[in-house]
Every structure is written in C-alpha cells, then in structure tokens.
Structure 1
C-alpha cells in the first residue's frame, strides 16, 4: 500500500486572532502548514481523480473558516483546521501548524502544531 503525503505549504490568510483589545478589532496575518496522509494505492494505479484526496476542497474549507472566524487562541484555530482536514474519511492522519507572525517582539513568529490520527 502506498501512503501519500500532501503538504499545504505557507497558506497565508488574515483573521481575527487573539484576545487583546487591538487584536479584537484588527485582522492579523497567519500562516498555515499542513501534512495530510492517506492511502494512495488506488489513485496511483487508476490515475482517477475520484480515488485521490481532493486537497483543493480541503483548502477552500480552511480559507472560508479562517477568513470568516474570530479566534481567541491559536489552540482553537489549529484544532478547528485539523478537524476540517480530518473530515475526509480517506485521511488517515494529519498535522496542522498555524503561525502568528510578529506575535512576539524579536521573534519571527509563534506557532502551534496539532496532530490527529484516525482510529483503526
């Protein structure tokens, strides 16, 4: 069985993230990275779209959720995005990282990473 890994790299979006007064009224940049694993043997053999994971659909759901949302914590946002990725029954496991650039003085960014795996 061939296991595929799809990487969504540096998806840059804007959302309301944080709980400080200025964060409640001003959107901030975030950067999303995801690794999504699924069994790809059928897709590799058949070359048929229906056998593969549709990463475009997943990405559209992520974009909509982020751009329409208000989040206090990186933990909540990251958990929501991991849940979106894991919605597709074909996904066996996934890791989602959300970065908040310029969240700390003297640091490029702060990030939070969550991993999920489908129970066998």
Structure 2
C-alpha cells in the first residue's frame, strides 16, 4: 500500500564554509569559500503529528556534522568533498533520497563558481 503522504523534504540552503580545496600551491596554502546546498527526503509520518524531536530528522545535527567535516579536512578534489558531504546527508536510516551541490567560488577566472552535484537514492 502506498504511503499517504510523500516524503518530507529538508533543504539546507547556501551553507557558506571555508576549507582547503584544490591541487594548486595557492589552494593548498589557503582556505577557500565553498557554498553547500543539501536536499534530504525522508518519510515524516511520526513528526507530522508530534512535537518530539526524536520523531524528526534533525537537520541541525546533520549541518553540524557537515561543518565539522568540511572545515577540519583538506580536499584535493571537489568530487571527494561532495561525496563526503553526501555520505553525511544520507547516513540516517530514514533518508530515502539526498542530493548535494557544492560551489567552489571563483574557481575559474570568468565564472562565479564551479559546482559539483551528487545524489543518493535508497534502493
């Protein structure tokens, strides 16, 4: 029988962090700005009729884990950084779908940013 309600969708928008990202000497020596967007789908049947935080997927906990990971590690590739954040976003058993997009600001001379997107869907 199909669910009565579609999944709830959490959107963490424009999380601005600084990290070491890249392979050039300048990038290895200096932190750069990245902008992270995360979308997480999960069935929120319990949370729809509850006031108990344990019945909901805690986006604050997820965000804190992302911040700690991004700010405390070095990344040569945007792909690795994006996959790491996606892994954090889809850790919880309730997550049915997650998508991460990370913008590396000023990565190209004539562009605002270069971004990488990756997604996860529970089989």
TM-score range, shorter chain: over 0.9
Aligned length: 119
Q: Partners in 2 of 1:58 and 1:46 — Cα distance?
A: 20
- Report Cα offsets for 1:7-38 as digits up to 9, x if no partner: 00000000000001111010000000010000
Q: TM-score, normalised by structure 2?
A: 0.94
Q: Please, what is the CA RMSD of the aligned residues?
A: 0.8
Residue 113 of structure 1 pairs with residue 94 of structure 2:
no
Aligned structure 1 segments of 4 or more residues deviating by more than 3 angstroms? none
| 1:46 CA drift (Å) | 2.4
Residue 79 of structure 1 pairs with residue 83 of structure 2:
yes
In structure 1, the residue matched to 2:21 is 17
Structure 1 unaligned regions, length at least 5 = none
| 1:88 CA drift (Å) | 0.9
Residue 99 of structure 1 pairs with residue 99 of structure 2:
no
- Report Cα offsets for 1:67-114 as digits up to 9, x if no partner: 001000000000000001111111111000000011001111100000
Q: TM-score, normalised by structure 1?
A: 0.96
Residue 46 of structure 1 pairs with residue 58 of structure 2:
no
